[in-house]
Amino acid sequence: MEVKAQQYLDSYLNTLSEADRQRHNSFSADYFCADEVNANLCAELVTSGAKTATCSMKYWYEDGGETMPQAGHLQVVTDWHGNPKAIIKITSICECRFADVGEDFARAEGEGDLSLAWWRKAHWDFFSAECDEVGIEPSEQMVLVLEHFQVVCS
């Protein structure tokens, strides 16, 4: 974790009681999305409370060496340049086929016009590009990891 993000996390953890600090043992720092404009927009949506969910392809946890998210994990949300904007705590995780993502989740992602149609188009484009990078075929059946979170510091 970069120094700025670690300092931001440490400042938050120092506001907690010893018992509450001990409950947290999983931390990361990162931005959402794969480009500067959307990373910065998503950071703003998180800090405003409009974005309370995110998702990724399960592929990254099976074959890509990423650690599967878990409830209770704290993430320092940064902008594209690594500046801390908020800390979120993952509250729930589930797996879902792309085709089965529903309106409630699309709205919780807080992006675009909040509709399922917008979500499907934007995320199909995003996941298709990721699939192209690793040489796999995108599919309505691809499994996503859906995360819900709450802002604990901003």
57-86 pLDDT, tens digit each: 999 998 767 889 999 999 999 999 999 999
Give me the percent of the chain exceeding a pLDDT of 90: 89
Shortest CA distance to 25 belongs to which of 74, 61, 91? 74
The domain of 87 spans 3-96+143-153
Indicate the number of domains in the chain: 1
pTM value?
0.92
Compute the C-alpha angle 105/72/131, nearest 5°.
Answer: 50
Measure the CA–CA gap between 15 and 39, rounded to whole angstroms: 27
- Cβ(105)–Cβ(27) below 8 Å: no
**Helices in 14-151 by DSSP H: which ranges?**
18-22, 36-48, 59-62, 103-109, 116-134
What number of other Cβ atoms are within 10 A of residue 69's Cβ? Answer: 20
Is the residue at 43 inside a domain? yes
* Predicted pLDDT of residue 64: 61
- Cβ(51)–Cβ(77) below 8 Å: no
* Predicted pLDDT of residue 39: 94
CATH number of residue 59's parent domain: 3.10.400.10
Is the residue at 135 inside a domain? no
Name beta bridge partners: 120. Answer: none
Is the residue at 8 inside a domain? yes
Measure the CA–CA gap between 22 and 25, rounded to whole angstroms: 7
- Cβ(39)–Cβ(31) below 8 Å: yes
Is the residue at 138 inside a domain? no
Compute the C-alpha angle 54/131/105, nearest 5°.
Answer: 20
Is the residue at 24 inside a domain? yes
Is the residue at 126 inside a domain? no
Measure the CA–CA gap between 47 and 128, rounded to whole angstroms: 28
More confident residue, 90 or 24: 90
Is the residue at 104 inside a domain? no
| Average pLDDT of the chain to the nearest whole number | 95
Is the residue at 129 inside a domain? no
> Is residue 140 over pLDDT 90?
yes
Confidence of residue 114 (pLDDT cuts 50, 70, 90): very high
Confidence of residue 88 (pLDDT cuts 50, 70, 90): very high
